[in-house]
Amino acid sequence: MMKKTDFLVIGSGIAGLSYALRAAAVGTVTIVTKKKIQKSNTALAQGGVAAVFGEMDSFDLHTQDTLGAGDGLCKEEVVKMVVENGPKRIMELAGQGARFNMDGQGEYDFALGREGGHSAKRIVFAQDLTGKEIEDTLVAKVENNENITILEDHIAVNLISFSSSVRNGLVVTQHEDICCGAYVLNNKTGKIETFYSGITLLATGGASKVYLYTSNPDIATGDGIAMAYRAGASVANMEFVQFHPTCLFHPEAKNFLISEAVRGEGALLIDENGNRFMDEYSKDGELACRDVVARAIDNELKKTGAASVFLDISHRDEAFIKQRFPNIYARCMEYGIDMTKDPIPVVPAAHYMCGGVATDLNGKTDIKRLYAVGEAACTGLHGANRLASNSLLEALVYSHNAYKSSLEEFKTIGSKIDMELDPWDETNTQDSDEAIVVSHNWDEIRRLMWNYVGIVRSDKRLQRAKRRIENIQQEINEYYWDFTVTADLIELRNLATVAELIIQSALMRKESRGLHYNIEYPDRDDVNWLKHTILKKAY
Ligand code: SIN
């Protein structure tokens, strides 16, 4: 049976939940989320939200820092809009109950941290669990809102456009750029359900799981980006993958980030002999932008053959470290590392996609009634490299803008909300007895992306990756049509699409800029490449 909702929100991080709360004031909202509602990349964000609150700070400084990190590719009007709206959105969040660290008695006297690339203290934080504080606050609000239905263990398969509803959204006879919902796998029943929606919002987060080593949770498989691309939306700047310089290096520690805020509080990067090296790479030392620090570490590891470098904050007061970083301290202790005394072994890992579904200033994609916000989107804020802690900020500002714009669009839909959509067609499919195909391809994609499409790239490696991914995609497509669709298969198919988009974009850009470094074109080339890389599927 077809389910109807005014607003379909796919994803339950800061972007999706903030939007849902606003939309619930005017209509019915359905949130579909792959696991439990709290399970999102947002909940793992440690550092904080960047915004201008400090006396020594200004909108102009924050704008300049963002443009500087973005290495020529940020859209200046976007940067200004986000920076200027940031403080309002954070004050709203505090009003909703988020408890940030304070530095005074006033309602908005937030304590402010510092991170790489920022010329002033401007990171609003909740110890080293900022994302969790925000996620918990928003989850409590949506759970108590009677206009919002939360569907956990539901994973979107495909977006539905008017013409693509002919058959599973895959065989498109006449493409019309209007989205009217999604097919969604109910992972509890194994059935694919049809959702008709007035407005569909992609808030599915990033795709760093496409790399072998990542700070992201298993859910970060680029579902929104892949679905939007298949539906015909433009996808931009996928070559700009941010590698966080400092993830914990320990055989049992999966995906654990050591926040940039630790460097913001004075931690030093050292090699295994205890020598600092960042001054050889940047005048900003440990607080250079992430692309610079990640490449420096990558170079040190290749040069010395060491398995990791180290982050040392042991010169700071023990009580301060425990109070400022309780979560990081506790996790490191689980692995026998006392950060108040010992340097922490760290390596870079895939962290954030600066590219995504291309949107305008309101999060609107080039498909009608389809919006994208948060890491799934490419708004033009980050350009070629995201400034630390600008991501939660972007999600907050854009979920507000997207709500306002989508409300106007929603009002114009009128009678079309009554159309009937075809159910998912499962004819001629059977249950697979070869799950090994899926797990093998997952593994192969993540490994080849790490080895051939990582921090330092070359055309030869990218071509090799392209050939491999084409073979894998062919295999996935054959498998997809013959067998019953499962969550693993959906994610694998999306990861393969995201990998294809990253490789294709990286091959197109014949220069090095921001997060994209190709040894065959080591310089920035403003004459030919001061532009975004746009990919759009031809129908
Ligand atoms: C961190 O805490 O280092 C991550 C924050 C971010 O990615 O902006």
What pLDDT is attached to residue 416?
56
List Cα–Cα distances, 341 to 5, 318, 420, in angstroms: 54, 8, 64
- Of 413 and 514, the structure prediction assigns the larger pLDDT to 514
Look up the pTM and report it. Answer: 0.94
> Could you say which of 3.30.70.270, 3.30.479.30, 3.30.470.30, 3.90.700.10 is the CATH number of the domain covering 246-350?
3.90.700.10
Q: What is the pLDDT of residue 386?
A: 97
pLDDT, mean over the chain: 93
pLDDT of amino acid 339: 98
Q: Which of 40, 115, 381 to mutate to test the pocket of ligand 1 (most atoms within 8 A of CB)?
A: 115
Ligand 1 pocket mutation pick from 41, 46, 344 by most atoms within 8 angstroms of CB: 46
CATH of domain 2-239+354-418: 3.50.50.60
Q: Which residues pair with 247 in a beta bridge?
A: 257, 347
Q: Is 46 in the pocket of ligand 1 (CB under 6 A)?
A: yes
Any atom of ligand 1 within 6 Å of the Cβ of 215: no
Q: What percent of the chain has a predicted confidence (pLDDT) above 90?
A: 87
Residue 217 CA, ligand 1 centroid: distance in Å:
14
242 lines ligand 1 (CB under 6 A): no
pLDDT at position 31 is: 98
Q: Tokens in use for 276?
A: 């600092």
Distance 206 CA to ligand 1 centre (A): 14
Ligand 1 pocket check for 260: Cβ under 6 Å: yes
State the average pLDDT over residues 272-289: 96
Q: Is the predicted pLDDT of residue 182 greater than 60, yes or no?
A: yes
Question: Does ligand 1 lie within 6 Å of residue 134's CB atom?
Answer: no
Q: Closest residue (by CA) to atom 5 of ligand 1?
A: 47
Residue 50 CA: which ligand 1 atom is closest?
A: 8
Which band of pLDDT confidence, cut at 50, 70 and 90, is reported for residue 176?
low
Would you state the pLDDT for residue 484?
A: 83
Check residue 171 and give its pLDDT. 46
Q: The tokens of 499 are what?
A: 């990998």
Q: Which of 259, 386, 393 to mutate to test the pocket of ligand 1 (most atoms within 8 A of CB)?
A: 259
Which of 123, 260, 328 to mutate to test ligand 1, by most ligand atoms within 8 A of the CB atom? 260
- Residue for token digits 């980050």? 382
* Residues 1-53 pLDDT 10s: 789 999 999 999 999 999 999 999 999 999 999 999 999 999 999 999 999 99
Relative to the CA of 115, which ligand 1 atom is closest? 3
Our answer on whether the CB atom of 130 is closer than 6 Å to any ligand 1 atom is no
Cβ–ligand 1 contact at 507 (below 6 Å): no
Q: Confidence class of residue 482 from pLDDT cuts 50, 70 and 90?
A: confident
**Distance from residue 125's CA to the centre of ligand 1 (Å):** 11
CATH of 436-525, one of 3.30.300.30, 1.10.10.60, 3.40.470.10, 1.20.58.100: 1.20.58.100
Quick one: pLDDT at residue 12? 98
**Is 391 a pocket residue for ligand 1 (Cβ < 6 Å)?**
yes
Contact 68, 119 (CB under 8 A): no
Residue 244 CA to ligand 1 center (angstroms) comes to: 8
User: Could you state, in order of their start, the residue ranges of all structural domains in the chain?
Assistant: 2-239+354-418, 246-350, 436-525
| DSSP string across 352-371 | EES-EEE--TTSB-SSBTEE
- Ordered DSSP codes for 149-195: EEETTEEEEEEEETGGGGTTTT--SS---BEEEEEEEETTTTEEEEE
Q: Residue 388 carries which DSSP code? A: T
pLDDT digits (tens, 9 = 90+) for 383-439: 999 999 999 999 999 999 999 999 999 998 865 556 778 888 877 777 776 778 888
Query: Ligand 1 centroid vs 373 CA: distance in angstroms?
Result: 18
* pLDDT reported for residue 417: 58
Res 167 pLDDT > 70: no
Q: Could you tell me if the CB of 216 is within 6 A of ligand 1?
A: no
DSSP characters for 298-360? HHHHHHH--S-EEEE-TTS-HHHHHHH-HHHHHHHHHTT--TTTSPEEEEEEEEEES-EEE--
Asked whether 52 lines ligand 1 (CB < 6 A), one says: no
Q: Give the mean pLDDT of 113-128.
A: 95
527 has pLDDT over 90? yes
Calculate mean pLDDT across residues 352-374: 97
Average pLDDT over residues 448-456: 96
Position in ligand 1 atom list of the atom nearest CA 389: 8
- Given a cut of 80, is residue 168 above it in pLDDT? no
Looking at the annotation, which residues are catalytic?
290
pLDDT tens-digit series, residues 49-95: 999 999 999 999 999 999 999 999 999 999 999 999 999 999 999 99
β-strand pairing of 370-372 with 191-202: parallel
Q: In this structure, which residue's CA is closest to atom 4 in ligand 1?
A: 47
Q: Which two tokens mark 483?
A: 């067998």
Give the position, in ligand 1's atom list, of the atom nearest the Cα of 392: 8
State the average pLDDT over residues 466-476.
95
Q: What are phi and psi of 352, to 5 degrees?
A: -155, 140
Between CA 480 and CA 432 the distance in angstroms is: 10
259 lines ligand 1 (CB under 6 A): yes
Residue 127: CB within 6 Å of ligand 1? Answer: no
pLDDT for the residue numbered 163: 55
